[in-house]
A and B are shown apart, each in its own frame.
Chain A
Amino acid sequence: MNFPLWLNLTLNGLVLGTLYFLTAAGLSLIFGLMHVLNLAHAALFTWGAYAALWTYGATGNFLWALLAGFGAGLFLGLLLEILFIRPTYGKGIVQILLTLGLYMVLVEILKMIWGPSLLGFPVPDFARGTVDLMGLPFARYRIFLLILGGALFLLIYLLLTRTRFGMTVRAGVENPEMVQALGADIRIMFSATFALGAALAAFGGAAAGPFFRVVWPEMGLNMQLAAFIVVVIGGMGSFTGSAVGALVVGLSQAYMGYFFPDWALMANVGLMALVLLWRPQGLFAPGR
């Protein structure tokens, strides 16, 4: 394998990893803190993409589109937590069925508004075209995604490590009872974390629109499957684990997709199985 091809595949893997990370980070934090396996996460990803497409069409400004995606996720996440998740804390099986049902309802609402077909999502002007990477073309938008993903990782990392909110969330993942005994209102923390996780997924959907060039109502499903693999590999509740897991899965997808396309998904599932055998709690799982 020559170096330019290797570089191209690696960068593509990192771009995929960025999208997986945005979906998986919220999923992981929500499960780690609240023990909620949110199967509606895929729908939040998709809602972010549609909200961004609608806003982009209305304003022509991609920054507003990204913010609309984030905002839609924040609002929907808060709504879902207060109306449906909060009354069912501690009821694992009820939550799984409930979030699965919510996924279906949210996707059907999208179909009612925008129809079931693919809708084109144009690449914003500033990121159109390709750059030459040692003789191989590489889409500008993918470079933008890499920068965006890196910046967002840094931002959330700072939020989790440098603010009292982040410190409380990390402590809550380890010992939610003690966090309450120290004076933190766990309900507010749960709502905020759920909304943040939903907003990250929706932001991922918004950013993924021009990457896929189209949006469709079930677009979140594949992302969710990959995100679950990422979370199992990285460890439930670990933000760093989500980032590392996402990059591993993204890179494996890119390499396998090029050399053995039929085995790409199999490789990721195999990777997950290996981690489960060697370290069932995931590579970076916080201790309890």
Chain B
Amino acid sequence: MTELLQVENLQAGLGLYRILHGISFSAREGEVLVLIGRNGAGKTTTLRSIMGLTRILGGRILWQGRPIQGWPPYRIARLGIGYVPEDRGLFRLLTVEENLRLGLRQSRLWRAQLKRVVEIFPDLERLLSQRAGTLSGGQQQMLALARALMGENRLLLVDEPSKGLAPLLVERLAQHLKAMARDTTILLVEQNLPLALQVGDRFAIVEDGRTLHTGPMEELARDRNLQETYLGVKMGEVAR
């Protein structure tokens, strides 16, 4: 597998406040890489930095070997990188259709892309004329993911998609993410261990703005110590 995105010793922050002190990992074409770590460890800032939404203070971000750190967000997005923020980033006053259209790179692909997205999220088809702000939490999450898919992105940065969703919906979300991962690389920030284990291929642990360890998902599934330390799973809890 070729490396689509490489992050090397990334440092970033807000103003003078440094949040990331040295993040390094690479995402390979076709895989789902899960960033795990405690709250405030720097996972969200890592995604925002890749997307150009946070000031980079050092290190490099390479897209297919080409440095892109310091680029404005719109140029990064046009490379084929989609972003689904933790708050979903929906335009609440716009309709579902308008939200989806804004995800498109080329307007003429609307029908083809909608068909593709509706195959994964069939519920959205009947909601097209509804305002995004009136959707339920689960529907909003579907829309946020669907919008990122509309742009034919090669890499999706998805931040805590399970946050605020009922367990039944998390199960559906896992199915959606797996379907999306068939033809898109995903960099996923996720604290929900069962979901991470179900969809992830590899994981990277982020702690105090640094990456401590990366490995295959099987390792995380086996290692109760890792689960307890970085995901807050207590001994004796069933991971799957």
Q: B-contacting residues of A (Cβ < 8 Å)?
A: 164, 167-168, 170-171, 174-175, 177-186, 286-287
What are 20 A-B pairs at a CB distance below 8 A? A164-B101, A170-B91, A170-B93, A170-B94, A171-B91, A175-B91, A177-B53, A177-B89, A178-B85, A180-B53, A181-B51, A181-B53, A181-B77, A181-B83, A182-B77, A182-B102, A184-B102, A185-B72, A286-B93, A287-B93
Whether A175 and B89, one on each chain, are in contact in the complex, defined by CB atoms closer than 8 angstroms, is: yes
Q: A-contacting residues of B (Cβ < 8 Å)?
A: 51-53, 72-74, 77-78, 83, 85, 89, 91-94, 98, 101-103, 105, 107, 133, 147, 151
Whether A180 and B77, one on each chain, are in contact in the complex, defined by CB atoms closer than 8 angstroms, is: yes
Whether B51 and A179, one on each chain, are in contact in the complex, defined by CB atoms closer than 8 angstroms, is: no
Whether B72 and A180, one on each chain, are in contact in the complex, defined by CB atoms closer than 8 angstroms, is: yes
Known: A181-B53, A181-B85. 19 other contacts (CB 8 A): A167-B101, A168-B102, A171-B91, A171-B98, A174-B92, A174-B93, A175-B91, A177-B53, A177-B89, A180-B73, A181-B73, A182-B77, A182-B103, A182-B147, A182-B151, A183-B77, A183-B151, A184-B74, A185-B74
Q: Which of B85, B89, B91, B101 has the most chain A CB atoms inside 10 A of its CB?
A: B91
Complex CA distance for A174 and B93, rounded to whole angstroms:
8
Q: Which of A171, A174, A181, A184 has the most chain B CB atoms inside 10 A of its CB?
A: A181
Cβ contacts under 8 Å, A175 to chain B: 89, 91
Cβ contacts under 8 Å, A183 to chain B: 74, 77-78, 105, 151
Whether B133 and A287, one on each chain, are in contact in the complex, defined by CB atoms closer than 8 angstroms, is: yes
Complex CA distance for A182 and B80, rounded to whole angstroms:
10
Question: Mostly helix, strand, loop or mixed at chain A's interface?
Answer: helix
Cβ contacts under 8 Å, A286 to chain B: 93
Cβ contacts under 8 Å, A177 to chain B: 53, 73, 89
Complex CA distance for A179 and B147, rounded to whole angstroms:
12
Complex CA distance for A167 and B101, rounded to whole angstroms:
9
Complex CA distance for A90 and B133, rounded to whole angstroms:
27
Cβ contacts under 8 Å, A287 to chain B: 92-93, 133
Whether A186 and B74, one on each chain, are in contact in the complex, defined by CB atoms closer than 8 angstroms, is: yes
Q: A248 to nearest B CB, angstroms? A: 22
Name which residue of chain B comes closest to A178, CB basis.
Answer: B89
Name which residue of chain B comes closest to A180, CB basis.
Answer: B73
Complex CA distance for A175 and B72, rounded to whole angstroms:
16
Name which residue of chain B comes closest to A287, CB basis.
Answer: B92
Name which residue of chain A comes closest to B72, CB basis.
Answer: A180
Name which residue of chain A comes closest to B81, CB basis.
Answer: A181
Given contacts A181-B89, A182-B151, contact A164 B74 (CB under 8 A): no
Q: B5 to nearest A CB, angstroms? A: 16
Q: B200 to nearest A CB, angstroms? A: 23
Complex CA distance for A165 and B217, rounded to whole angstroms:
43
Whether A164 and B107, one on each chain, are in contact in the complex, defined by CB atoms closer than 8 angstroms, is: yes
Name which residue of chain A comes closest to B133, CB basis.
Answer: A287
Cβ contacts under 8 Å, B102 to chain A: 167-168, 171, 179, 182, 184
Name which residue of chain B comes closest to A177, CB basis.
Answer: B53
Cβ contacts under 8 Å, A174 to chain B: 91-94
Q: Which of A164, A178, A184 has the most chain B CB atoms inside 10 A of its CB?
A: A178
Whether B91 and A178, one on each chain, are in contact in the complex, defined by CB atoms closer than 8 angstroms, is: yes
Cβ contacts under 8 Å, A186 to chain B: 74
Name which residue of chain A comes closest to B93, CB basis.
Answer: A286
Cβ contacts under 8 Å, B98 to chain A: 167, 170-171
Q: Which of B73, B98, B133 has the most chain A CB atoms inside 10 A of its CB?
A: B73
Q: A160 to nearest B CB, angstroms? A: 11
Cβ contacts under 8 Å, A178 to chain B: 85, 89, 91
Which 3 residue pairs across A and B have the least CB separation, nearest first?
A: A183-B77, A178-B89, A180-B73
Cβ contacts under 8 Å, B78 to chain A: 183
Cβ contacts under 8 Å, B89 to chain A: 175, 177-178, 181
Q: A126 to nearest B CB, angstroms? A: 40
Complex CA distance for A185 and B78, rounded to whole angstroms:
10
Complex CA distance for A171 and B92, rounded to whole angstroms:
9
Cβ contacts under 8 Å, A181 to chain B: 51, 53, 73-74, 77, 83, 85, 89
Complex CA distance for A174 and B78, rounded to whole angstroms:
21
Cβ contacts under 8 Å, A184 to chain B: 74, 102
Q: B205 to nearest A CB, angstroms? A: 26
Complex CA distance for A168 and B103, rounded to whole angstroms:
11
Cβ contacts under 8 Å, B52 to chain A: 180
Q: A170 to nearest B CB, angstroms? A: 6
Name which residue of chain A comes closest to B150, CB basis.
Answer: A182
Complex CA distance for A185 and B92, rounded to whole angstroms:
21
Q: A186 to nearest B CB, angstroms? A: 7
